[in-house]
Amino acid sequence: MSSHDQFAEDVLLYALGSLDEGARQSFDAHLHTCAECRRELQAAQEDLGLLALSTAGAKPPARSRERFLKAIANEPRAAGRPANVGKGWMWIPWFATLAFALLSSLLYFTNLRIKNDLASIRANSQSQTVELQQAHEMLDLLQSHEAVRVNLAAPNEKPRPQGKTIYSPEKGQLIFMASNLPPAPANKAYELWLVPKQGAPVPAGTFQTDAAGNATMMQVSVPSGMQAKAFAVTIEKAEGSNTPTMPMVMLGAPGN
């Protein structure tokens, strides 16, 4: 048997972690020079992974099981053992090693899957909690008697872009909705501005429109206690701006 053939027969034992230290080091060195053995090792590792996942998930392809079982069947028998003396008993250590390695692989992948499932459940729970809190806040804002409702419009355009802001000075929160807005130019975005009764305009969030020209911003936070003289929309760079760029796309004031 050639040196390569001997290493090829050790592929499955290497994938199962059942080679002793000396044999493993020799196989590691051989892998650096043998592309065929590297391919066979990758295939064996994939089969082990599919076999492990089959205990708790989807059934792996039949060809993967067949290839894995064929690899086990082709594993070399211990050299120099008598053909007819104690044959059944001499196989027990080999099968015990293989069974232990396979069981370890199954436990590892099962444990990994459980950890991933738990992490996903925690992430989904946190996300749902945040969304529920935002929904409550939005409902409170919509029902607030002190909230200011401002309609925005663009002159001399058809169809006429329109917007509506529901703003709570006490909470420093607002909801903005727009319609009939064309898409913003490339690398640009629409930006909403709160124009206070005193001082410079305050940025209140950037947004893009959908295919129908609609847009919504919810739960945008601005400094609380700020009385609004007007709200305006401009076109700015995609990340937003600290000062508005003229001309204004839409403008509206409370009471109009």
Could you tell me if 189 and 88 lie in one domain?
no
Q: Is residue 99 part of a domain?
A: yes
Helix 62-73 and helix 35-53, axial crossing angle in degrees, nearest 10: 120
- Span 163-210, pLDDT tens digits: 999 999 988 889 999 999 999 999 999 999 999 999 999 999 999 999
161: nearest Cα among 207, 215, 201? 215
Name residue, tokens 């409170």.
140
Average pLDDT of the residues of the chain: 76
Residue 215 CA, distance from chain mean position = 25
| Of the candidate ranges 37-41, 50-54, 158-162, 213-217, the one whose mean pLDDT is the lowest | 50-54
Q: Which amino acid is at 129?
A: T
Same domain for 92 and 154?
A: no
Q: 61-70, 109-118, 137-146: lowest mean pLDDT where?
A: 61-70
Domain boundary among 93, 113, 133: 113
Range of the domain at 87: 3-113
3-state secondary structure the chain: CCHHHHHHHCHHHHHHCCCCHHHHHHHHHHHCCCHHHHHHHHHHHHHHHHHHHCCCCCCCCHHHHHHHHHHHHCCCCCCCCCCCCCHHHHCHHHHHHHHHHHHHHHHHHHHHHHHHHHHHHHHHHHHHHHHHHHHHHHHHHHHCCCCEEEEEECCCCCCCCEEEEEEECCCCEEEEEEECCCCCCCCEEEEEEEEECCCCCEEEEEECCCCCCCEEEEEEECCCCCCEEEEEEEEEECCCCCCCCCCCCEEECCCC
pTM: 0.48
Q: How many structural domains compose the chain?
A: 2
Residue 141 in any domain: the answer is no
| Domain final residue, candidates 88, 113, 138 | 113
Instruction: Give a yes or no: residue 121 inside a domain.
Output: no
Do 166 and 107 belong to one domain?
Answer: no
8 Å CB contact between 11 and 71? yes
Evaluate whether residue 134 is within a structural domain. no
Q: Are 194 and 202 in contact (CB under 8 A)?
A: yes
- Above 60 in pLDDT, residue 104? yes
152 and 107 together in one domain? no
Q: Are residues 172 and 237 in the same domain?
A: yes
CATH code at position 158: 2.60.40
The answer to whether the peptide bond before residue 61 is cis (omega within 30 degrees of 0) is no
- The answer to whether residues 102 and 153 belong to one domain is no
Identify whether residues 97 and 53 lie together within a single domain: yes
pLDDT at residue 63 tops 60: no
- SS3 label, residue 235: strand
Bridge partner list, 164: 151, 177
Q: Which of 65, 91, 113 finishes a domain?
A: 113
Residue 135 domain flag: no
pLDDT reported for residue 85: 42
Percent of the chain with pLDDT over 70: 61
For residues 90 and 188, membership in a common domain is answered with no
Torsion, Cα 124 129 131 134, to 10 degrees, reads: -160
Contacts with 114 (C-beta within 8 Å, 6 or more apart), sequence order: none
User: What pLDDT was estimated at residue 122?
Assistant: 72
- Asked, for residue 101, whether it belongs to a domain, the answer is yes
Model confidence at 20: pLDDT above 90: no
In a domain? residue 133:
no
Q: Kindly state the tokens that stand for 186.
A: 């490339």
129, part of any domain: no
User: Residues 78, 164: one domain?
Assistant: no
